[in-house]
Structure 1
Amino acid sequence: MLDAALPMGVSGEELDIRSDGAVLRGRLVRPRGTPRAALVLHGATGAPARFYRGFADWAARERDLAVLTYDYRDFGASLRRPMRGSKATLADWGRLDQAAALAALARTCPGTELWVLGHSVGGLWMGWHAGMERVTRAITIGAGLTHVTDHPWRYQWKARVFWSPPVRALAAAAGYLPGKLVGLGADLPRGVYEDWRRWCTTRGWHLSDVGRTLSLPEAGRFRGRLRMIAVADDDLVPPAAVWRARALFPEAMKEQKVLRPADFGLASIGHIPPFTRRNAVLWPAILD
């Protein structure tokens, strides 16, 4: 299905992506001419694909990229049943859905150079994705192995409340996490919240489950260029946690970059806001 709400010079379509029994809703935008690369954008936990629409359209129009955005299983536009009945986990989103989206992009844009952009949790699973050996460039932003003690004190109390037994009990009683009630905004499947909670309160984040519920990632799958971006005032994933994730990509050609608000004439940036339209001044620094 064609997408009519697109800027001049960009064409697009909606598509379904099959992922291990689930069907994900995606949106592919293309530049007017031949794309110089095709990029899949793996989003942050709780950020629906529509949140990245402005960035995707800009990247297609201004940087000649074909860009695939999508929602993880049982979330956003991919929610096809009551969330209360969802069995989705954050591990499913990272291992299965991100890999399926990359494979769908490769099929849809054959012969085109493949790029990956991972925001937050979207940048932590590439070692589990078959097909990463074909990716020539990857960018992560705000993607780190974060422990609750990494947060500055001004945010840490909020995180500890979010992971507290009462919020966990609320998710158990509702059958999902009611996001608006706890200040997140978007609802989450209960299994996604449980994985997220466990990893943020355990050293090593998801690596703490390797050998139990997770296989060992194949770190050598990606040997291309990797730009790891931290945001100086990111309370959720501070720069130290981002640099800790370097160990996930031992074979990549790594570059580190810090976005500082003052460098862009901004009062603040934070964790989620880099992809808002009002912060479009940041987009060239992310992608170029």
Structure 2
Amino acid sequence: MSPTPETIPFGPSSSPLVGQWYPAQGQMQAAMVLHGATGVPQRFYRHFAAWAAERGIGTLTYDYRDFGDSLRGPIRNSPASMADWAVADQDAAQRKLAELAPTGPLWVLGHSLGGLGVAFHTYPARVSRIITLGSGMTHHWDHPWSYLPKVLAFWFLLGPLATAVTGYLPGRRLGLGADLPAGVYWQWRRWCTRRDFFASDIGRSLPQPDFDALHPPLELCVATDDVVVPPVAVQRYAAHFAPSRTQLRMFDPGTYGLKHLDHVSFLGAGLGAGLGAGNEAAWDDLLLQQTAQVDAAPLRQAR
């Protein structure tokens, strides 16, 4: 039987967050927080979170401030930024995880944006593992030509025009994903259209990063068919971290008999939800087996 999640409110009163806690079934081997991707609500991860809990990994999902279940008031009034989500909200969720699981190892799983806060956090010794999935320093020219028209419209045409007019990104009406606070969209746009990614925000909305930390071990994972954050962008991100702590893991959908894993579908519903085959084998590889192709020493690049 799948675990029934418990609704968990946390965070400061000025920017409250709402999470779902999936308690581990049987003997708990770890507790994990799942930092979601930009524009992906926590309900999307419910099948994956329940699957992990059934395997002894208590899992906390949540929505960032002014998004999904954490939205309070009209989204056009939100002052939230991408930095708020990647730093303050992720930090609040990690502290809440430690409260929910006061003993035992803690894991961090960051999906896309969820993995971009790693260098901005200080992790206690109990955090024994960090996994990122589809997290990379993506520039708009990294995308394959087949995906580029959508990207250019999102960053240079429909996205900025609609956000300027409405006061938020009306992603649902435009067919470009979820609605987002304007500050999140504008900062996201700046990062993905500059070769230095978030460097211009360091010392402003972002604290100084610590790319040289040696703990916890860091696994940067990506599907080989990810066109949103292509493997080259993940490798560029991986190269900033100390090589001794870092593994770059590639997931080929063909390994699991799948046509695609891509950027978002990877953590979508698997066999446990009765909605398809194969995802659970990839999940098992991601969290438990660790048999995906590994590049143990990605090239270090200039920062």
Is TM more than 0.5 here?
yes
Residues in 2 aligned to 1:252 and 1:204: alpha-carbon distance in whole angstroms: 24
Instruction: Identify which of 256, 275, 278 aligns with 1:264.
Output: 256
Instruction: Identify which of 50, 59, 64 aligns with 1:57.
Output: 50
Of residues 242-251 and 41-50 in structure 1, the stretch that sits farther from structure 2 once superposed is 242-251
Residues in 1 aligned to 2:212 and 2:59: alpha-carbon distance in whole angstroms: 25
**Which letter maps to 1:114?**
L
Residues in 2 aligned to 1:183 and 1:51: alpha-carbon distance in whole angstroms: 18
Residues in 2 aligned to 1:222 and 1:58: alpha-carbon distance in whole angstroms: 30
> Contact between 1:28 and 1:66, CA under 8 Å: does it hold in 2?
yes
Q: Indicate the SS of the match to 1:97.
A: helix
Per-residue deviation, residues 163-194 of structure 1 (Å, max 9, x unmatched) = 01442121122111111123233110111100
Q: Which residue of 2 aligns with 1:97?
A: 89
Residues in 1 aligned to 2:198 and 2:12: alpha-carbon distance in whole angstroms: 21
Residues in 2 aligned to 1:80 and 1:135: alpha-carbon distance in whole angstroms: 31
Could you say which structure has the higher helix fraction? 1
Instruction: Identify which of 161, 179, 197 aligns with 1:169.
Output: 161
Per-residue deviation, residues 31-76 of structure 1 (Å, max 9, x unmatched) = 2334111100001001000000000000010x20110000000000
> Contact between 1:46 and 1:186, CA under 8 Å: does it hold in 2?
yes
Instruction: Identify which of 194, 217, 220 aligns with 1:228.
Output: 220
Instruction: Identify which of 134, 149, 160 aligns with 1:142.
Output: 134
Q: Do structure 1's residue 203 and structure 2's residue 195 form an aligned pair?
A: yes
Residues in 2 aligned to 1:249 and 1:115: alpha-carbon distance in whole angstroms: 18
Instruction: Identify which of 24, 40, 60 aligns with 1:68.
Output: 60
Distance 1:153 1:19, change over 3 A: farther
Q: Which residue of 2 aligns with 1:16?
A: 9
Residues in 2 aligned to 1:235 and 1:114: alpha-carbon distance in whole angstroms: 30
Structure 1 residue runs of 5 or longer lacking an equivalent are 1-6
Structure 2 residue runs of 5 or longer lacking an equivalent are 270-275, 289-303
**Which letter maps to 1:119?**
H
Residues in 1 aligned to 2:40 and 2:186: alpha-carbon distance in whole angstroms: 17
Distance 1:166 1:148, change over 3 A: same
> Contact between 1:223 and 1:251, CA under 8 Å: does it hold in 2?
no
Q: Indicate the SS of the match to 2:146.
A: helix
> Contact between 1:34 and 1:64, CA under 8 Å: does it hold in 2?
yes
Instruction: Identify which of 181, 185, 205 aligns with 1:213.
Output: 205
- Percent identity between matched residues is 45
**Which letter maps to 2:6?**
E
Residues in 2 aligned to 1:40 and 1:122: alpha-carbon distance in whole angstroms: 10
Per-residue deviation, residues 96-122 of structure 1 (Å, max 9, x unmatched) = 000100000011111121100011111
Q: Do structure 1's residue 255 and structure 2's residue 250 form an aligned pair?
A: no
> Contact between 2:202 and 2:208, CA under 8 Å: does it hold in 1?
yes
Distance 1:253 1:163, change over 3 A: same
Q: Which residue of 1 aligns with 2:266?
A: 274
Task: Give the alignment's TM-score, normalised by structure 2.
Answer: 0.87
Residues in 1 aligned to 2:68 and 2:152: alpha-carbon distance in whole angstroms: 26
Residues in 2 aligned to 1:19 and 1:161: alpha-carbon distance in whole angstroms: 36
Residues in 2 aligned to 1:128 and 1:19: alpha-carbon distance in whole angstroms: 19
> Contact between 2:104 and 2:126, CA under 8 Å: does it hold in 1?
no
CA displacement at 1:240 relative to structure 2: 1.0
Per-residue deviation, residues 197-238 of structure 1 (Å, max 9, x unmatched) = 110000132233223432211235561222211111111111
> Contact between 2:214 and 2:245, CA under 8 Å: does it hold in 1?
no
Residues in 2 aligned to 1:271 and 1:189: alpha-carbon distance in whole angstroms: 22
Residues in 2 aligned to 1:221 and 1:211: alpha-carbon distance in whole angstroms: 19
- Equivalent residues, number: 280
Residues in 2 aligned to 1:201 and 1:133: alpha-carbon distance in whole angstroms: 36
Residues in 1 aligned to 2:9 and 2:127: alpha-carbon distance in whole angstroms: 22
Q: Which residue of 2 aligns with 1:43?
A: 36
Residues in 1 aligned to 2:246 and 2:210: alpha-carbon distance in whole angstroms: 17
Alignment RMSD: 1.7
Of residues 226-235 and 31-40 in structure 1, the stretch that sits farther from structure 2 once superposed is 31-40
Residues in 2 aligned to 1:108 and 1:275: alpha-carbon distance in whole angstroms: 23
Residues in 1 aligned to 2:91 and 2:240: alpha-carbon distance in whole angstroms: 16
Of residues 11-20 and 195-204 in structure 1, the stretch that sits farther from structure 2 once superposed is 11-20
